[in-house]
Amino acid sequence: MNEQMILSVVIVTWNSKNETLACLDSIFGSDDYKLLNEKLEIIIIDNNSSDGTAKEVSEKYPDVVLIENDVNKGYAPACNQGMIIAKGTYSLLLGSDTVLKNNALIECIKYLDSNGHCGAVGAKLLYPDGKIQGNCKKFPNLRNAFCTYLSLDRFNKVYDMASFEYNKTIEVDQIATTFLMVRTDILRNIKYFDENYKILYNDVDLCKRIWNYGSSIVFIHTAVVIHYGNLSTKKADYRIRMQMYKDIYRYYRANSGIFAVSLIPVLALRFFMIILFK
């Protein structure tokens, strides 16, 4: 390891103060941080939280690079703000509602250091009770979309990689950006997230572009992270949820063409059901 910055950790937060602080505690308290020390930087982008997240972060961790947005820009635009200024050889896109286990960062860095063909790696996500949280999937087609948004998950087992037990390191199509460590030079070359996807499917699109760039994506089973799960999304009002469904349609229109129009009634029904009964 040379003297340059090795890792930039990019975290976007919105009204998740306690979770964000717990995430930072897990990083700064880890053996990974002791080893990396000044070769690791943490960049927090706060999307106009009203719960005092930015103030608490700046007071408890003054060395963190903190960007305070005066509006909620959405996940992808905010994340790009962090990735653009990242100085590390690798950039870690990390959910604010995660807690890192020891060696999660080092395991991923070692793999990327030793495998030049690999463009990005992800970790094993666990629920707080220790159950595995599936974060690896195939790239979805329109059939998968219908099954997903009609809650017909039993027909999506191949897409969901339902038979994968998360007990070995393998190449995968896509990994959720809850924890995705990417070579920073690749991010620069593929122009980061497509900001048209403000909340959803930005990770699917990013993974597809990493593969199209000629680099693989690998799941690392020895890197472990606790994920509490979509806490900011659960607080979303109807305007944010509307954007989420626009993102879904955008992805399938871009990848399935005019046939994606048939998905509109399904998405509309699901949107109104969630708004009415959430």
Task: Enumerate the domain spans of the chain.
Answer: 7-230
pLDDT at residue 238, rounded to an integer: 73
Which residues share a beta bridge with 132?
126
Q: Tell me: domain 7-230, CATH 3.90.550.10, correct?
A: yes
- The alpha carbon of 261 is separated from its chain's Cα centroid by a whole number of angstroms, namely 27
Write the CA distances from 116 to 5, 110, 119, 182, 203, integer angstroms: 18, 11, 8, 12, 22
* 128 token code pair: 């707080």
- pLDDT tens by residue, 98-149: 999 999 999 999 999 999 999 999 999 999 999 999 999 999 999 999 999 9
Angle subtended by helix axes 75-85 and 202-212, to nearest 10: 50
pLDDT at residue 33, rounded to an integer: 95
Angle subtended by helix axes 238-256 and 142-149, to nearest 10: 150
pLDDT at residue 229, rounded to an integer: 77
- Kindly give the parts of the chain with pLDDT less than 50: 1-2
pLDDT at residue 234, rounded to an integer: 55
Number of C-alpha atoms within 13 angstroms, CB side, residue 271? 19
Which residues share a beta bridge with 68?
46
Q: How far apart are CA 31 and CA 188, in angstroms?
A: 29
* Three-class secondary structure of residue 80 per DSSP: helix
pLDDT at residue 167, rounded to an integer: 96
Which contiguous run of DSSP H or E holds residue 13?
strand 7-13
Positive/negative CA dihedral, 20, 21, 22, 24: positive
Q: How far apart are CA 177 and CA 79, in angstroms?
A: 10
Residue 9 is classified by DSSP as E
